[in-house]
Amino acid sequence: MMSFQDPKLKQKKNSFVNSGPVYLTTVDWKNANHRRSIAASLVCGAYVLENDRQENRQGCEALAPQWWEFFNFQLLYPLIDTNDFSIFGAVYEFKPEVVHYYQPGVIPRYVIAFRGTTIKKHSVLQDVWLDLKIFEHGLHQSTRYGVAMLAVQTLVSAVGASNVWLTGHSLGSSIAMLVGKNMAKTGNYLESYLFNTPFIRPPIDKIECVEVKRGVRFASSLVKAGLTVAMKGYKENRSPDDPFTAVSAWVPNLFVNPADLICSEYIGYFEHRDRMEYLGVSGIERLATQTSVTGLLKSAIFGIESEVVHVVPSACLTINRSPSSKLPNFMKAHGLQQWLRDDLLLQSKIYQYRL
């Protein structure tokens, strides 16, 4: 979430009273829209924590606590990037004084939230460098991912996966996605709310001609499937024990806006998988969907280990179909604020990967 707004507008945006879902005075934790708004609010809390730090807002002047206290959470500790000492995430706990309202499997005991990219002067260089690492499929080698993974593993070991939520936006969503996938490989499936996760591929969905668009996707699947067979072998990728299949039981909640070129390709990615199955060539797509051409070539040519963050076997995909979301405003389409609203026109579908 990057912004070029003036200081007064930024201050207003950081304020929960002005920008948060204040309509949620009564929370129904079984309501998917309420859970989405709360998860987005906790990510906002991580953003504002870093803003408070850089602008030296402390005590009663700090704006971040509003974002979690309104929902009866408390901050356990922030997550710090040791490269620039910026706050890139936060670990929240449902407040002990309201623990009698806790419902296992419905209300999370802990939520770990990761912010996205900011243009604040003390963190922008590290944030942008990590954005580039996503494109290079090297985010798993970053210090920030290591800190995040350790925090999640520690909590899950202590209280179990059913008591921990993951959430993040943009860059933070990629970190949460990577953590969630690697936890799923160990049989720990965390409920996850991932907003505007980058999908590293040209936005094919923007091609207007349907036949051309489908042709490009089909050709891309053939190329990736062929490369996968050549480099990894066909049997390896059919095995129930391969890493991609091992993650298939994890169904993260992905939130995308069709006007957001960074994440909108998830829409075509899952729709294409359904179409390939309908055409009876799902075997090709099972191979193609597991990786990217960039990741395969990087591994084959340079011998560099890569992990493609954006490819995920299963997901509950929620698309913001609100009329206002169609406006060509990148900052709004990619922004986190849209997911705080209660008047969205949303379209959701579960895509379950089958071997």
Residues of the domain holding 100 = 7-203+312-351
The answer to the question of residue 246 being in a domain is: no
CA dist 149 and 278 (Å) reads 38
* Alpha carbon distance 118, 2 (integer Å): 5
Domain annotation covers residue 223 = yes
Domain for residue 254, yes or no? no
Residues 191 and 235 in one domain: no
pLDDT at 308: 77
Instruction: Enumerate residues 6+ apart whose C-beta is below 8 A from 322.
Output: 338, 343, 344, 345, 346
**Residue 347: which CATH number?**
3.40.50
More confident residue, 337 or 229: 337
- Are 42 and 191 a contacting pair, CB within 8 Å? no
> Residue 20: is its pLDDT beyond 80?
yes
186 and 211 inside one domain: no
Contact predicate 115/169, CB 8 Å: yes
| 196-210: average pLDDT | 72
Nearest-CA neighbor of 282 among 226, 200, 221?
221
Q: What is the pLDDT of residue 274?
A: 73
- Classify residue 219 by its DSSP letter: H
Residues 37 and 146 in one domain: yes
Average pLDDT over residues 333-350: 95
pLDDT at 123 over 80: yes
Look at residue 247 and tell me if it is in a domain. Answer: no
Query: Mean pLDDT throughout 100-115?
Result: 82
pLDDT tens for each residue of 34-52:
999 999 999 999 999 999 9
In a domain, 255, yes or no: no
* 3-class state of residue 89 by DSSP: strand
Q: Which residues pair with 77 in a beta bridge?
A: 91
pLDDT of residue 1 exceeding 50, the answer is no
Q: How far apart are CA 139 and CA 137, in angstroms?
A: 6
Instruction: Work out the pLDDT band at 95, boundaries 50, 70, 90.
Output: confident
235 and 318 share a domain? Answer: no
3-state secondary structure of 312: coil
Q: Averaged over 201-213, what is the pLDDT? A: 62
Sign, CA torsion 106/188/311/148: positive
Assess if residue 225 is contained within a domain.
Answer: yes
Has residue 257 been placed in a domain? no
Same domain, 271 and 344: no
Is 253 contained in some domain? no
Overall average pLDDT of the 182-196 stretch: 96
145 and 223 in a single domain? The answer is no
Considering the domain architecture, whether residues 66 and 133 belong to the same structural domain is answered as yes
In this prediction the pTM is: 0.84
Q: So what's the pLDDT on residue 323?
A: 82
- Same-domain pairing of 184 and 121: yes
Looking at the predicted structure, is the pLDDT value of residue 217 above 50?
A: yes
Residue 121 is predicted with a pLDDT of 85
SS (H, E, C) 74-87: EEEEEEECCCCCCE
- Which has more confidence, 324 or 154? 154
Q: Do 176 and 316 belong to one domain?
A: yes
Tell me, yes or no, whether 150 and 282 share the same domain: no
Say if residue 220 is in the same domain as residue 321: no
pLDDT band at 135 (very low <50, low <70, confident <90, very high): confident
The number of folded domains in the chain is 2
- Could you tell me if 176 and 94 lie in one domain? yes
Q: Which tens digit of pLDDT belongs to each residue from 52-70?
A: 999 999 999 999 999 999 9
